[in-house]
Amino acid sequence: MQRFGNNGIEGDVPDVVIGRMPIYLRALVLLNSQDIKDVSSHQLGDLLGITPAQIRKDLSYFGRFGKQGKGYSVAHLSSAIREVLGVVPGVQWPVALVGVGSLGLALLGYPNFGREGFRIVEAFDVDPQQIGRTVSGLTIRPIHELNRVLGESQVRIAIVAVPASQAQQVVDQLVSAGVRSVLNYAPYSPRVPDDVRVSNIDPVLSLQAMTYFVKEDLV
């Protein structure tokens, strides 16, 4: 649960609600690209597969955005959600990357980070063949420099793309260096203090869940 104080709202916001805010924002960006000015909760729900009641309840944690009989202004609601998430135009969040293997290299070259308000500013690895290389304008640093470099920076978000055996140690280093949010691609769920947020992404687990629905096709 998160405490939220913007727009005069004070209260506990469930994590699942915060997790749906970027989904709403992405849909609104799509609608804006189609020159759609207003959208109802029913239309937004049809687009996302979420009930209109759930959408209205989620948004109510942060203020009152819609007008009876008209719905939501796409531009206004987009701006409000960006404020909620802290991804407002002109602001770029600095991000550190740990692990510059195949996945890490792909992340360094991913163009949408910059467009959406994020910029990888530091990259670390343990592989002597990677250390010292310049990739996408960044020189890859040795992992032993992580605490010093990040401790002197404004980086509070990190991406971890290391093997499972290294994940906990890396996350511990990041936390000690002041990182408070971790996007973790390692197939391991690290333990962190209560004030640190971890989002675990494991495509293998997702694929294994999907096989439940198609396993009969193999018979």
Give tens-digit pLDDT for 93-102.
999 999 999 9
Q: pLDDT-based confidence at 218, cuts 50/70/90?
A: confident
Q: Is the pLDDT of residue 148 over 90?
A: yes
Stretch 6-17: mean pLDDT, rounded? 69
Average pLDDT of the chain to the nearest whole number: 92
Q: pLDDT-based confidence at 219, cuts 50/70/90?
A: low
119/75 Cα distance (integer angstroms): 25
Question: Do 68 and 133 reside in the same domain of the chain?
Answer: no
Q: Is the pLDDT of residue 59 over 90?
A: yes
Chosen domain end from 56, 85, 114: 85
| Residue among 23, 9, 21 at smallest CA distance from 81 | 21
Question: Do 21 and 124 reside in the same domain of the chain?
Answer: no
Q: Which two tokens stand for residue 175?
A: 């936390």
Query: What type of residue is 85?
Result: L
CATH of the domain at 135: 3.40.50.720
Question: Do 163 and 190 reside in the same domain of the chain?
Answer: yes
Q: Is the pLDDT of residue 141 over 60?
A: yes
In percent, the amount of the chain with pLDDT more than 70 equals: 95
Query: What type of residue is 143?
Result: I
135/110 Cα distance (integer angstroms): 12
Q: Is the pLDDT of residue 9 over 50?
A: no
- Relative to beta strand 2-4, strand 11-13 is antiparallel
